[in-house]
Structure 1
Amino acid sequence: MDLKKRHFKLKFKFRLFLSVAGIFLFIALFVSLLFSMTSLKNAKDNDYRGSVMVLERISSQIASLYEQMDVAATSITKNSTLRGTVLNLNIRDSQLTQQQMMEELEKTRTIQKTLINMMFSPIISNVLLYNRNLDYFYYTGLYLHDEGLLKRALSSDRSFEKLMEARYDQLYLGPHLSPWSGDDKVVLSAIRNFSDITTTQDTLVEIQVPYAHLDSICRQESFGDEKEIVILDSGCRQIYPYEETVTVLPPETIDHIVAQFRDGVPDFYSDEYAYYGSSILNNRFHVLLVSNQSTLAQYRKQNATNTLLAVILILTTTCAIIFVIISIVSKPLNQMIRYINALSLDQDAPLNLSSDFLDEFELINSSFNQMLVKLKDSIKEVYEAQIRESNANLAALQAQINPHFLYNALNSISAASEIYGSEVTSRMCQQFSSMMRYITSSSPEAKLTEEIRHTRNYLDFMKISYDGSFDYTVDAPLETANLFLPRLTIEPLVENCFKHGFRECLPPWHITISCAIEGASWFIRIADNGSGFSPEALSDFQEFKDAYGSRKTADLYRDLEIDGLGLKNIYGRLFLYFNGNVDMYIENGGSRALCVSRPDNQNSPGGCLITIRGEITHD
């Protein structure tokens, strides 16, 4: 038998080990594969989003660069003084008198001044105004040395024809050598003409910006050796980089990308390369962000290697830990079975096991089921005991509130009998009898309509006592009628107004009771125009609330003496009845009566608002 048990234990231990290790191996492989695929997808998505954002930003900056140039050119062509001067230049005679030469000099000054005013942007290097047909040329900005070169460049200039062919108001030129300087200055240009009048439409205004501004926009430090900007003109010819090759990809790959883009493929992604394109300035320029994907491929390879090594390491470590744990757990297995049996079995009916019943886990399951039944019985007993204790506490609080109301009512009847006589006293006794039937009901709860009816009786009862010194209003909409709450919740709060709020203030007094349902909550608000609560009383009540939820209910009602019933008693009964899902707020403020015994209250807020708030439940 011992040999059989030993053989079983070894077999069970390794079987459990292989089962757990196999499950963990499957989970680890699945998670690692999912992790790798997710990582690669995230890397691709992040690269795509990042590339698109960078491309949009660069395209926007390039467009903004040309727009600044166009604004300057437009400002010149729309300048009324300059337009008049240009018109006079275009219709002048070839033979000039001395007076006309002086006027020509003044026109030159006017033109130079206007052009200089357009040098408002630090990016503009030259502002040119010229007419090839009439052979005049004005400029400001970078100094142009060779006048012969200017003449030759002016005679061969075809900007006006290009502007007419483009059928746009303006002509945008990509990076090109400036024909006016005679050196290797590469610039960008925006050209406009005075198109309003036929006489002046062949006079052109050209704004030049150094190529370096475009280069600074397109070259980003974050690109490294992986990404680069390529700009194509409307004919899909490369204009940037200017007279340079793209370094991140081979020339044949760049040619293939340009051909793809020309064929209507705006973006493309592969394991070798990727590009993303956008068009600016009415499709006259196309900006491409080309990317070498070798880095991502290297990252993918490195990620797969690292994941494989991590999985092997985790599997090896986990299998060793599982084996050690199973070895430790299997040793005290029989001891644990005997312990569970002793805990759950009835002494009069012990568990009888057959001699060949060797499945320890089934024994544990059987023993645990029996123990669970006993635990459920114990939990049920404890739960019922807690309910009985809670009901007893609620009944104790209810018992406190009833005599408290009784004492106050009898005092009111006694005082009224001395003032009004038997007839009024008899009517008060009848009202008191009706109220006593309500408060002595065996049910600890009541509908809101019943509580409001009882409170109205009490207020009518007190009207007799105070001979019309106060009035009241009650607002309880129909939808609040079936709200249940502990009996004698509202009336003690109203009674508190007479006991404390009106004691130090002259009439007229007023009490407002309003009930409402707002969203998923219900509210009961009692407001008066009395003297309000002192800061000490408000602080004391708040401390009571804060401590109430953290103490055992069995000890709570013992702290609520009859002389101090009022607010604490009501909050305690509400807390027990609604199982803590209720709150009660007290605020000073609003209008108040004239305080006569405490003059310091004349400068303090008067009146009091008590709000009870609870959540609507659907049983």
Structure 2
Amino acid sequence: MKLKKSFRLNLYLLFTVSIIFPIFLIFGIFTWYYNQQTVLQDRRHVSNILTSMSKNIEISFNELEHISFTPYLYKDVLGCMTYMKNGYLENRPDFLEVNRLEEVYNLTFTKLMYSSSNHILGIGFYPMSKQDSFVYQLDHNTAGLQTLSQPGYFSDALFLSARKAGGNPLYTPFHTQPGKYNSKEYFSIVRMIKDFDSQKEIGVLRIDASTESLKNVIDRVDIPGKSRVLLVDDLEHLIYSSGDIDPAILTQLSNRDTVSANGDSYLVTREKIPRFGWSLIYLSSKKDILISNAQTYLLAFVLMIFAVLISFFIYCRGSSKMVSSVSNILQTIRKIQTGDLSAKSTVKETNTELALISDALNEMARQLNDHIIREYKAVISQRNAEYIALQSQINPHFLYNTLNGFIALNRMGERDTLEKAILQLTHLFRYTCKNESISTVGQELDFVSRYLELQKLRFEDRLNFRISIQPEAEELEIPKLLIQPIVENCIVHGMEPQDDPIHIEISAETCTDALSGKCLRLVVKDDGLGFDPGSVKPASSRVGLENIRDRVELFNPHACFVLESAPGRGTQCVILFPIQK
């Protein structure tokens, strides 16, 4: 049922294009839009996190800046620093005064160091003295002020940067120093201290704070999966990371919104810490975002499939009647094509276009059947009349030729031969007098064989013949008295004019033709005088070859009659009848 399948397939394609494709398209657009909204929401969420982190870090830094501003708030602390600068260890003007200033210095910074939330590890002062060798250090875990020898600190990069900053605080990246603070990681804030009145440089105050306070600010935030928070300086150098970070990512950070590494992409969100030049960077893993959205996508996909299945079920229920009706109409059309005009289309649906088509098809088949019956009867009547007229030409012609042969036998005194010929003629007349226009190949060739036997009585050794018939061809139907006129022409035109001997071969077999398929092939061949087919006038052959050709065409319009002959080369007649399956 190719047409049925094609129609059903077209309906399925229509359903796919009109229902399934839009649903999947909507699902694709939904997932894309939801992912974009998730990314935007993630960016807003991350921005809020970074802002909160930035404020917490800024609070920590503000506290350290306030501590670094202590010399300007406590005159005795600034006075102690001034004595440290002037080298009071060598020339102490007043031991009691210096001792008092040292106590104030120690007490003030010790209180600040222990009360600070930044885990201050130590406070050091680098005086602008001529010696450039001694540093004064207070440690969290060591009592009292220590005088440490550190020659050449004037040329230290940090010291030079503090002088260049002109009193503004500077921060160092996270680092460790072997043996110092038990090798803990720390960062420092440095500030150049100046005299209020003269604005002369007194020295550099350095406050070392543990990184734990800043790490706690970052690590306190729950960072999912592969996402990371980075703390970088103004040159994009990494200060701290909340987890392991691929070095390839650090090389891509500069002014980019997306970076990639290890088969994953990361959204880059930045938050500047304005006063310090540092930046917080949040790397949001796109894989984490997709994984977090996976449940939503899965739920949406399941609901979409469920909706498609329901739509398909409703569609199949609704279209099955239409498909059945169309199939019924197509089957009826197919039967009509094969000639069954009695076929009727029965569409169960009423008051629909298909019902109207079904009724119109039935009415068309009825009218066509009536018309064909009328035309067929008229054509059959005409064809039978023509066929009878043609066949009526055969019997007198055959009888005329046969009686002429009897007269010749009588004149020659061949009375025994004449008697045998008359007996043969009675057998022939039994065949020809049957009121039938159709015969079988076997009956027709039996008749031809008797006819040739009759002629052989007359011509004796001058006439020889051979008849071969394939068993499969014996029961096939052909027009009655079709072969005999051809054989008669072989004798009359191929032998009698010069009274030469002649050999006639007759065969009947089935064959396969490239155009017509399986065919019945009848061949009548002689080695007589032959003739030029182009020189034969229609009037002279009207009762002979033309009669045979017309009868062949009337019996089967698709049959073929071929005549081949040449002077001195004999004649061959071939008739092909398509075998109806």
TM-score by length of 1: 0.43
Who wins on radius of gyration, i.e. which is larger? 2
Bigger relative CO (Cα 8 Å, ≥ 6 apart): 1
